[in-house]
Structure 1
């Protein structure tokens, strides 16, 4: 198991280094006139040149990257070029909002999709047709469209929830619940149908195997067979789908956060990328990649525990 973990961690470190390097290169070639954007259009050429020297923009690409990496390894991601806010502080104040939105949505998707997928696989009939039809419809409707519909009905017309987020640094639980409910519902509706379809297929595949018939012939109850044996064997497929949804959701909540005015990582990423704020963009990318690596590692560990064959693959 230790070798299994070390291999996954080593692979994660390589991925992190590669993504950091290529992201920095892309920012280097796509960001232009950064010093001018910071100082404004009325700044003199001498002021712009001095600002470029101050920010290290006059240095070669590799020199700039390795200087940034040397500090990043120690946890120093620098400060924003536009407002001098610490990159770590800017991210840590917004990251809990995005993580709360994504984690709560994934947990709800996992519970509902598992129940629907197992019911469709076991009962078949109308619920099976419903799950398969909903999977097609759910994939066809983007979550931001669902978000707009939810805001229109429940926030503007019925006024049951706020149309925009009321989350602030000193907000209580009530503000978090009211601000997060509609975004979570939009993400869950969009994600639960496809996950239920995948879990349904995995459960059906397990139900057709010989060990299920053997367990039934021994008089073991159907409930025990489903929840103790079939669900465990089908879990790796479901976990893989959920991990992919988590990764996609982590990068795809930008529009949802914009619709509901949530002060999360999405708005920060869009703003920093538009301005060419390289330290802030690199911080956002690095934190996001680290979270993805941790999630994938946890999924691999759970799959390795459920299926020992995974540990030697």
Structure 2
């Protein structure tokens, strides 16, 4: 699933090209991906994109209101995308064709844009067996349930060690705490593995068992890894971001490979539909972990 660093890079890339663009096309092959629509999707055509932003793992297009009529001062609309586990987008420098298809033959939506004489096309697609990509058209981002429940953004300058430390009263396992979007927004399976490995902490340790030094270490590590990834991915084409993320991983997705820090073998705990990776020497004092509950515990 796309996480904070690549969504941030994607947001910046799209905002630079689409801010001020006119939406010229909005095609939904079916209503499956459209979860909420305060207005008909086709009513967005002709409106202007004011900005492209991010809320947690959600991509947010702010769409300018129509020209006011009879004193009506309607506010903007928000086109919001949650990529889920296997969703992503492709961007082209031309309008999408009527017969265009995404990789694998499935796309959730196609959008066309025109900005200062330049055309752009976006295809939203989902490569998963279960299609989880979701589209919302709302008057306020908080109308999307997942956004309304988001915790603070870990890269928000106002999110400091004191606020972070208050999360560690939970008995939740560290892996689950970092992934819990209600506690912090934007970290998923991959970066929780990377943060815990770099901080030399077990993914199944109870958050409430950590002392102040360990909490500060994980806080500093989290900031460093996320900021470093955002900087590394900045300016990359959307088509490059997934591979860039995969190449940057030290333990996540590297089961059976040597740990780049100590050389021990990276191990895995598999759950239904997901898994976690860790280094026994770096993180668990050599203990080989057995499956305990679920990865969100």
TM-score by length of 2: 0.22
Greater helix content: 1
Structure with larger Rg:
1
Q: Which has the higher contact order (CA 8 A, sep 6+)?
A: 1
Greater strand content: 2
